[in-house]
Amino acid sequence: MEKPLIHFVHGKESGPWGSKILALAAIAREMGYDVESLDYSSTFDPAKRVETLVASCEKRPPDLLAGSSMGGWVALETSAHLSQIPDQHLKGLFLMAPAIGIPGYPPFQVGVDGSNIDIVHGWHDSLIPYTNAVTFAHEKRCALHLLDDEHRLKNSIDRLGQIFKAFLERMR
């Protein structure tokens, strides 16, 4: 039997196996998930990143998407695309400082229920205001975790891991 799959989606200027993804991928593997993290660094265009992720998901549908910053926007938009494809079974989204409500980004859609979305954001994020996440969480009725950290959440890796583990347990 095939293990459930989590696709990690990195941010605009990071890479597929940065410190956050490495830490969360280790937790996911311990909990019985396969993990995938594509390299999107060839483009800063979020729509092109969505195309890349959707194409990968068509080959092997993921159970969960986890995205950071621009990767959070990509995960949200990809969830909407996947909801239109028969036999897709995306259960939830784990978003870290998602790039929502940012000037210059196209509008996005969401393809999963808010009760299956967790957002983690830093109170001191100077790139993406935490208030954007608060507004989104309120509208979609999803879980929101605000941490005493900045955009990269680098000082909260342990806490981020705890939140992620609880999310995975809830999504089983």
Q: Give the bridge partners for 37, in sequence order.
A: 8
| pLDDT number for residue 86 | 82
pLDDT block averages, 10 residues each, the chain of length 172: 94 91 97 97 94 94 96 96 87 97 89 96 97 97 98 97 98 92
Domain that holds residue 61: 5-171
Q: Output the domain CATH number for residue 128.
A: 3.40.50.1820
| pLDDT number for residue 106 | 86
Exposure string (b/e) for 95-104, b if CB count within 10 Å is 16 or more?
Answer: bbbbbbeeee
Nearest in space to 89 (alpha carbons), one of 57, 66, 50: 57
Instruction: Please tell me the total count of domains within the chain.
Output: 1
Angle at 14 between CA 9 and CA 18, to 5 degrees: 75
